[in-house]
Amino acid sequence: MGLFSRKNNESAASASAVATLPVDPALAALTGTYTIDPAHSSIGFTVRHAMVTNVRGSFAEHEGTLELNGSDPAASSASIDVKIASIDTGIADRDGHLRSGDFFDAERFPLMTFRSTKAEQLGGDLYRVTGDLTIKDVTKPLSIDLEFNGVATDVYGNERVGFEGSAEILRSEWGLTWNAALETGGVMVSDKVKLNFDISAIRNAA
């Protein structure tokens, strides 16, 4: 069963019947404001290196808010800020290059941000959040496909929700154009980048 609305399992049901389907009280009860827990969340990326392997990295510092509406998914929203200087690929020299003007220029553009403009249920526990991704003062639309992993109360009494998902971008569209040609053909870093999201968010106190 999905987070935002009950799925209609009767193939013969009309569109009007779907529209009037009662909301599951358990799902409606999840409506509220949630703060992303950076200690139990990750925002990362995967990019092809030298045409033959993948480099994976993440951003250690990020914060965000989810406004979930269990009765009306279209009324839900997400806001995320990522600190570029916190990039970590496991190699200090490479991280320094990524922070430099060749790539993110972290001193001039310290944040990568996402502000949602639309939320929709794709079916079951699958959702799509569309919004504006800003990198280096360039803002373009991005759609993120997410799976709802459920809700739980942790040992400290916090009510948590979990999502995981991904999206693909062409980094050049956000001004990340540095590259180097390989002697064997091709380039050092692919234009296509996969973004990965693993989010745990805690419900704010009323």
- pLDDT tens digits, residue range 66-105? 999 988 888 999 999 999 999 999 999 999 999 999 999 9
Tell me which amino acid residue 74 is. A
* Amino acid, single-letter form, for residue 146: L
pLDDT of residue 28: 79
Within 8 A by CB and 6+ apart from 105, the residues are 99, 136
Q: What is the pLDDT of residue 15?
A: 39
Residue where the block lists tokens 């806001």 = 79
pLDDT score of 54 more than 90 = yes
pLDDT at residue number 29: 81
Do 197 and 146 form a contact (C-beta atoms < 8 A)? yes
| pLDDT one-digit tens code per residue, 139-198 | 999 999 999 999 999 999 999 999 999 999 999 999 999 999 998 888 989 999 999 999
Rounded to two decimals, the pTM is 0.86
Residues 6+ apart with CB under 8 A from 15: none
Mean per-residue pLDDT, 115-144: 95
The pLDDT, as a whole number, for residue 115 is 98
**What percent of the chain clears pLDDT 70, i.e. is strictly above it?**
88
146 closest CA partner among 34, 62, 66: 66
Return the DSSP state at 173. G
The DSSP bridge partners found for residue 162 are: 150, 200
What is the pLDDT averaged over residues 10-37?
A: 64
Average per-residue pLDDT for the chain: 88
Is the confidence at residue 24, as pLDDT, over 50?
A: yes
Position 130 scores a pLDDT of 98
